[in-house]
Structure 1
Amino acid sequence: MKYPHSLNKTLISSKFLRFFLISSLVFIIYLLFSLYMVGPSKVINVSPSLLYLSEPTSIEHVVFGIASNKDSWPKRKDYVKLWWKPHRMRGCVFLDSMPQNSDATMNDTESSLPPTCISGDTSRFRYTWRGGLRSAIRVARVVSETVALNHSDVRWFVFGDDDTVFFPDNLVKTLSKYDHRLWHYIGTNSEIYKQNRLFSFEMGFGGAGFAISYPLAKVLSKVFDSCLERYPHLYGSDGRIYACLAELGISLTHEPGFHQLDLRGDIFGLLASHPLRPLVSLHHVDHADPIFPNMTAYKAYEHLFKAVNFDSNRLLQQTVCYDRWFMWTISVSWGYAVQIYGYHMYLPDALPVQLTFRQWDKNRENPLASVYTFNIREVHVNKCRRPTIFLMDSVSSSGDQIKSIYKRNLSEDCVPHRDSPWRLEEIRVFSKKLDLDIPQAPRRHCCDVLNSSAGAVMEITLRECAEDELIYMH
């Protein structure tokens, strides 16, 4: 039987449609099965600005090289104990030789500190900086000697001094922004303009700590000794590392969470106005005043780690809100301090760093010694116009809510008026654990004074701001 021509065309179209649908279904099933067999850890996520394996970077992917010496290590190893996690971290503390009480040091090292390594001989290298220390060459070679440890599954090498306090979770969060398979040199400058002008604005200062991605570190270690031959005139170890990386064509990626702290005295102003980035490191912990009063430097940092253990990402993140009833401006630097001004301030006026510290260079005649690389504001000459400061006392959690308590610091001698924040004795801050979304630009959080605030206690809650919400005085 013969069908009309139009009917033949209809049958052919129907067959083709069935074939297309069946083929598409088979392809989708095959694709889903392939993804299931490969597993999520092998899938590559591609974005316009970022390429990385979906398996997240963890502290196990980082190897540390810590520069020290036989004289300073017994005094400073307690600072490393604060942040070192012996069963999760890898790396070495490099000494020129073992301390006199080497047996006790080794026993301590095995339990709660990084292993101890003895640096190689550097006598063949020249050092010509007049009045400088030859140990700069030994410390510089910590980079190549750490790579030579041949750890497996390494993504990043991180270097710092024995008086550098790292915040490991924040370090990992920061490094996760970058593709570890590419060449990266990540760190920060000094806070002092003069220091940067002398040593370079593109150098990662070694005390603050810096990170080098695995493939770059492997190449650097191969050529590093030849670089040391060309730069006997440089002052420090970090200058030699920077010079060799510059010869490889690599420049510094600036991350403001690393802190060199070339400052003296009370660094409260800097800590209370931290950038909107995770706090990664603090250097020169012995050169500044203890960050909490009536404590030793070590005890003060140990106290700070009480907050670190609850919410590392939120540490020092500054939030500003306004009390409408009393016309107060409230600045919360989570885990460290709450400041209350007895008047309203525009938000841009509340953000710059208060000049509570002294310059690094003791030669006060040098005009550049007190020029800083960030915006500052002078502490008000009238003590009663200065903020009332409440310092972190304790941190606890219940379910997903974290409560931090701040007690008033009685450091100022001022006769308060009736509506002064000096009548307050305690601030209670409620928040949820902050999990920073690193690929996105950070945004300051909002805060509210709760209606339950009364008498000598104020309660504040921290939260994400609404999409179009502004932080301003009403």
Structure 2
Amino acid sequence: MLICNSLTPELKCESVYDVYGDLLGLLGAHPVTPLLSLHHIDVVEPVFPRTTRVKALQRLFQSVKQDSASIMQQSICYDKRRSWSISVSWGYVVQILRGVLSPRELEMPTRTFLNWYPRADYTAYAFNTRPVTKHPCQKPFIFYMNTVRYDRSKRQIFGVYARDRSRHPSCRWKMESPDKIDSIVVLKRPDPLRWQRSPRRDCCRVLPSHKKSTMYLWVGSCRGGEISEL
């Protein structure tokens, strides 16, 4: 099914998928298209855990009000020193994974959801998916958007993403664990004209931080020749 926006000179369409379950895998790797709507909210889990569907949507709309054109848009970057892969779904969630995963892999939705019938048939979609990892060291650390505000003096949006406190399995890898990170601050400038340019993913950069418990990220339009690389 396609939803098209015919109110502007350019016809813009988005594929619509009806699913059950947890939308994290789907919305955490949203394609490079505008998010126009969320369907069948009554049969999916709240977009933010441990709250009601209504309160979860109210929380999501804090980000929508700041930069609706960028909501759910994914950017990918790497912490070179700690060998972490970082995926940002702006206004919704940040995921940190140990090790280096290619952008192509991170762009594939994780199978946290079921199709409409519902059953675990992942051949029914027009896009590739990847299974939820069973390896304890490869399970992502999830940081959901908590608060967001606009700083007029700096002309930047400050979003604070808090770590989901679900129990994380023990990992024997010797690399540094993201479990020391309690919150992630994502800096971004509003970009209301993004869909008037050639569509592409935002770029992401890891910024210096003086607190071990807080990570700072910047997301926004890529510089000339800038790509996601380690």
TM over 0.5: yes
C-alpha distance in 2 between matches for 1:312 and 1:212: 18
Matched, 1:278 2:31: no
RMSD: 2.2
Whole-Å separation in 2 of the counterparts to 1:440 and 1:211: 17
Structure 1 position 275, deviation (Å): 1.3
The answer to whether the Cα contact below 8 Å between 2:137 and 2:170 also exists between their aligned partners in 1 is yes
**1:304 aligned onto 2:57:** no
1:395 aligns with 2:153: no
Q: 1:419-446: per-residue Cα shift (whole Å, max 9, x none)?
A: 1112111000011001234343212221
Which whole-Å CA distance do the structure 2 matches of 1:429 and 1:305 have between them? Answer: 16
CA distance in 1, matches of 2:122, 2:101: 30
Per-residue deviation, residues 111-154 of structure 1 (Å, max 9, x unmatched): xxxxxxxxxxxxxxxxxxxxxxxxxxxxxxxxxxxxxxxxxxxx
Output the CA distance in 2 between the equivalents of 1:439 and 1:211: 14
Q: Which runs of 5+ in 2 are unaligned?
A: none
Distance 1:338 1:287 in 2: 24
Residues 298-377 of structure 1: pairs in structure 2 closer than 5 A? 298-362=54-118, 370-377=123-130
Q: Does structure 1 conserve the Cα–Cα contact (< 8 Å) formed by 2:19 and 2:115?
A: yes
Per the alignment, residue 426 of structure 1 pairs with 183
Distance in 2, Cα, partners of 1:416 & 1:396: 35
Do 1:429 and 1:462's aligned partners in 2 also have CA atoms closer than 8 Å? yes
Report % sequence identity. 34
Q: 1:298 to 1:262 in 2, by over 3 A?
A: same
Specify whether residues 306 and 352 from structure 1 end up closer, same or farther in structure 2 by C-alpha distance, changes over 3 A only. Answer: same
Cα distance in 1, alignment partners of residues 112 and 119 from structure 2: 18
Q: Which of 211, 224, 229 is the equivalent residue of 1:467?
A: 224
Kindly provide the amino acid, as one letter, of the partner of residue 220 in structure 2: R
CA distances 1:387-419 after superposition (whole Å, capped 9, x unpaired): 111000000111111100000112243125661
Which residue identity does 1:323 align to in structure 2? D
Superposition map of 1:61-76 within 5 A = none
419 and 286 in structure 1: CA distance in 2 versus 1, 3 angstrom threshold: same
| Structure ranking higher in helix proportion | 1
The correspondence of residues 105-116 of structure 1 with structure 2, limited to 5 A, is none
1:267 pairs with one of 14, 23, 39: 23
**Counterpart in the other structure of 1:413:** 168
CA deviation string 1:174-228 (max 9, x = no partner): xxxxxxxxxxxxxxx1xxxxxxxxxxxxxx4xxxx555569xxxxxxxxxxxxxx
Distance 2:109 2:148 in 1: 25
Q: CA deviation at 1:454?
A: 3.2
The correspondence of residues 158-307 of structure 1 with structure 2, limited to 5 A, is 189=1, 204=2, 210-211=4-5, 255-256=13-14, 259=16, 261-307=17-63
Q: Which amino acid aligns with 2:162?
A: K
| Unaligned ranges ≥5, structure 1 | 1-188, 190-203, 215-252
Could you tell me whether the CA contact under 8 Å between 2:74 and 2:88 is conserved in 1?
A: yes
Question: What amino acid is aligned across from residue 410 of structure 1 in structure 2?
Answer: R
Using structure 1 for the length normalisation, give the TM-score.
0.45
In structure 1, the residue corresponding to 2:60 is in which secondary structure?
helix
Structure index of larger Rg? 1
Quickly say closer, same or farther: Cα 1:453–1:328, change in 2 above 3 A.
farther
> Aligned with 1:255: secondary structure?
strand
Query: Residue 94 of structure 2: SS of its match in structure 1?
Result: strand
Cα distance change on mapping 1:437 and 1:299 into 2, 3 Å: closer
3-state SS of paired residue (2:150): strand
User: Using the alignment, how far apart are the partners of 1:414 and 1:277 within structure 2?
Assistant: 34
Question: For the residues of structure 1 that align with 2:189 and 2:39, how far apart are their CA atoms?
Answer: 29
Alpha-carbon distance in structure 2 between the residues aligned to 1:314 and 1:442: 11
Q: Would you say the 8 A contact 2:6–2:12 is kept in 1?
A: no
CA distance in structure 2 between the partners assigned to 1:322 and 1:339 by the alignment:
11
